[in-house]
Amino acid sequence: MSVSGRSLPPVIRDVPGQEHATAFLARAFAQPSHAYLFSGPEGSGKRLAMRAFAAALLCPTGGCGECRSCRLALGERHANMLVLEPSGPDILVGRDASDPNTARWFASRAYLTPPEPGRKVMVVLQADRMRVEAADVLLKVLEGPPTDTVFMLVSARPAEIPDTVRSRAQEIAFPPLSEAFVVEALAREGLSGQRALLACRLSGGNLGRARRMAQSERGLAFRDAALSAAALASKGPRGALSAAEDLAAAAKEFRGSLATELAAELEPFLDGAGRPEEAFRSVVRRLEEQHERRLRRAEREFLDSALLALAAYVRDLVVVAMGGGDEVLVNLDRPGQLGLERPGWTSVEAGLALGAVEEARADLADETNLNARLILERLFLRLSATAGASATP
Ligand SMILES: [Zn+2]
């Protein structure tokens, strides 16, 4: 292959588990075209690869991975890197160029000279969420592409991007990573095999999410909170109400610690008086908007992860009841707690419990449901009724 003759830029070499995609990017780097589409499921590494490619294009030495340009690009904070992403459910067309984080705002910057000398990289995250009018605005830009600018679209659902836009970009596919690969990658980073496997299964094989879960002590807080709540709920209706209260409190606590973390992320871009430094003004504004969105969703996301972990746990109970072994369990580190107070759930009970969990997740996802606590109370009361029914044969 011709790539082996040329050396792979270090930033691109560091993208794990996607040899085809990285080989493609290394070739593309020599003579980049105007637009690329990074497509693949969540956790396959497409966004990581997009950042690496951006770093390679913006770095004065072609993607060393260590200089200021590389570091900023890898964090999506380079001044020459403009990122458009949905600020609500969709990417909107916008009133005009001054309407931030909209297609018109994005397109209006396509023909401007970049803040720093060199190329410009324009990224659309979750590109499948562009409304039709927004996609039309982007299409116009792609039809008359500005010089020295590379567009990168990122999407987990490329089929939902209008063909007119999709056909203007070279598509790079990122297939899902295997469990073995994710576990090995985490183990290489120094995590124990069991913790790596646990994080891999709880994250559904998403390497980035699995890494966050496995690395920090608090990374599995949602699962621990969910399991103690389930244990409480199995003690009857009073326990069910406490379970809802505890889980809601854990979600609030998570939001609080996230706020502290996000504030620390802004610090390097602020001057002594806490104001953004001139060159980073738009970067800081984007980060602040991102933080606001993440904080707004933090409690619901924590609860959603907790309920997913709860579903995995119920599934484990059934596997154990049917005599299944460790190789198919998710919560491998909690063998003593599998079964709670009983030898095992029947598949009928488990079906009822999983149905209740799914319903609660759907209710929580609907942001017009303002009272998360009520949703949790109903869920745990139903779970406790399911457990109670089978305890008295
Ligand atoms: Zn560099």
DSSP letters for 264-289: HHHGGGB-TTSPBPGGGHHHHHHHHH
Across 175-202, b (16+ Cβ under 10 Å) vs e yields ebbeeebbbbbbbeeebeeebbbbbbbb
* Spatial distance between the Cα atoms of 188 and 72, rounded to a whole number of angstroms: 25
Distance 24 CA to ligand 1 centre (A): 20
Q: Which pLDDT value is given to residue 335?
A: 57
Q: Are 104 and 137 in contact (CB under 8 A)?
A: yes
Distance 34 CA to ligand 1 centre (A): 21
**Architecture of the domain whose range is 2-173:** 3-Layer(aba) Sandwich (3.40)
pLDDT digits (tens, 9 = 90+) for 279-327: 778 778 878 888 888 888 888 889 988 998 888 888 887 777 777 766 6
Around ion ligand 1, residues with a beta carbon closer than 5 Å are 59, 64, 67, 70
Whether residue 389 is predicted with pLDDT greater than 90 in this model: the reply is no
Distance 81 CA to ligand 1 centre (A): 15
Distance 71 CA to ligand 1 centre (A): 7
Residue range 84-100: mean pLDDT, rounded? 90
Element holding 150 (H helix, E strand): strand 149-155
Distance 119 CA to ligand 1 centre (A): 14
Name the H helices within 96-203. 103-108, 132-143, 163-166, 179-188, 193-202
Distance 289 CA to ligand 1 centre (A): 27
Answer positive or negative: Cα dihedral of 297, 382, 308, 128. negative
Distance 65 CA to ligand 1 centre (A): 5
Q: Which residue has the higher pLDDT, 204 or 145?
A: 145
Distance 67 CA to ligand 1 centre (A): 4
Distance 60 CA to ligand 1 centre (A): 6
Distance 182 CA to ligand 1 centre (A): 27
Residue range 260-282: mean pLDDT, rounded? 81
Distance 82 CA to ligand 1 centre (A): 18
Residue range 360-374: mean pLDDT, rounded? 83
Angle at 196 between CA 291 and CA 265, to 5 degrees: 20
Element holding 384 (H helix, E strand): helix 372-391
Q: Which residue has the higher pLDDT, 393 or 391?
A: 391
Q: Are 228 and 240 in contact (CB under 8 A)?
A: no
- Report the SS3 class of residue 65: coil
Residue range 100-107: mean pLDDT, rounded? 94
Distance 164 CA to ligand 1 centre (A): 34
Tokens 């294009």 found at: 57
* 268 confidence band (pLDDT: 50, 70, 90): confident
* Spatial distance between the Cα atoms of 334 and 131, rounded to a whole number of angstroms: 45
Residue range 213-223: mean pLDDT, rounded? 82
Identify the burial level of 392 via C-beta atoms within 10 angstroms of its C-beta, where 0-12 means exposed, 13-18 middle and 19 or more buried. exposed
Distance 246 CA to ligand 1 centre (A): 47
Q: Are 242 and 393 in contact (CB under 8 A)?
A: no
Residue range 141-165: mean pLDDT, rounded? 95
Distance 79 CA to ligand 1 centre (A): 14
* 388 confidence band (pLDDT: 50, 70, 90): low
* Spatial distance between the Cα atoms of 350 and 316, rounded to a whole number of angstroms: 10
Distance 274 CA to ligand 1 centre (A): 28
Poorest-pLDDT segment among 50-64, 95-109, 131-145, 176-190: 176-190
Distance 47 CA to ligand 1 centre (A): 18
Tell me the average pLDDT of the chain. Answer: 86
Residue range 34-60: mean pLDDT, rounded? 94
* Spatial distance between the Cα atoms of 316 and 371, rounded to a whole number of angstroms: 30
Distance 281 CA to ligand 1 centre (A): 22
Q: Which pLDDT value is given to residue 342?
A: 52
Q: Which residue has the higher pLDDT, 28 or 221?
A: 28
* 264 confidence band (pLDDT: 50, 70, 90): confident
Distance 331 CA to ligand 1 centre (A): 41
Joined together, the tokens standing for residue 338 give 């599998």
Distance 61 CA to ligand 1 centre (A): 6
* Spatial distance between the Cα atoms of 190 and 179, rounded to a whole number of angstroms: 17
* Spatial distance between the Cα atoms of 29 and 37, rounded to a whole number of angstroms: 15
Name the pTM for this structure. 0.69
Distance 14 CA to ligand 1 centre (A): 13
* 344 confidence band (pLDDT: 50, 70, 90): low
Distance 78 CA to ligand 1 centre (A): 12
The rounded percent of the chain whose pLDDT value lies above 70 is 92
* Spatial distance between the Cα atoms of 319 and 340, rounded to a whole number of angstroms: 14
Distance 80 CA to ligand 1 centre (A): 14
Distance 252 CA to ligand 1 centre (A): 39
Whether residue 338 is predicted with pLDDT greater than 80 in this model: the reply is no
Whether residue 61 is predicted with pLDDT greater than 50 in this model: the reply is yes
Whether residue 5 is predicted with pLDDT greater than 50 in this model: the reply is no
Domain with CATH 3.40.50.300 in the chain: 2-173
